[in-house]
Structure 1
Amino acid sequence: MLGTSWSIRDLYVAPHHRRSGIANALLQHVIHNARAAGAHRVSLQTETDNTPALTLYTDIGFQPVTGLELLNLTFDPTRQDPGDTA
């Protein structure tokens, strides 16, 4: 059963405010509210070389997900969508 999940798409702290606990506080707020809303999980993603973020996330308890691939479709404004016959 997949259940309800929350996804954090973007977490940004201005450079001059980093390492002051803001990101941790924001994450704790989301986690608390997701749990209170009955969510089964909170997911997020970051770049593999973003060591400070990865350290924060794993320290809080987030774990890497195996068996999934992240796929993107990047739009090229000069090309039609696949299957578009117009």
Structure 2
Amino acid sequence: MTFNDDKMARRLAALASARRLAVPTPAPKKKVEEERADTRRGVYRPGRLIVTGGLELDCMIVDLSANGARLHLDGADALPEFLTL
């Protein structure tokens, strides 16, 4: 048996004899009541943001309401306060 084989055998033996730990399962999250003035509806459509200076960013519009939208963006570190969707 080589050194690596012996080391592997000892590691496997240690794992086999180790006691199992009981890990608690997190409680399910309670459903939070909607606090928005307008309900959002899921749309899952591609979109494009145009920010100050003319920079355009592709995005995914996840949901929309009369007062806003939820977007998913890749690689956007920070966005200005105002933009066009």
TM-score of the aligned structures, taking structure 2 as reference length: 0.22
TM-score of the aligned structures, taking structure 1 as reference length: 0.22
Q: Specify the structure having the higher radius of gyration (Cα).
A: 2
Structure in which a larger fraction of residues adopt helix:
1
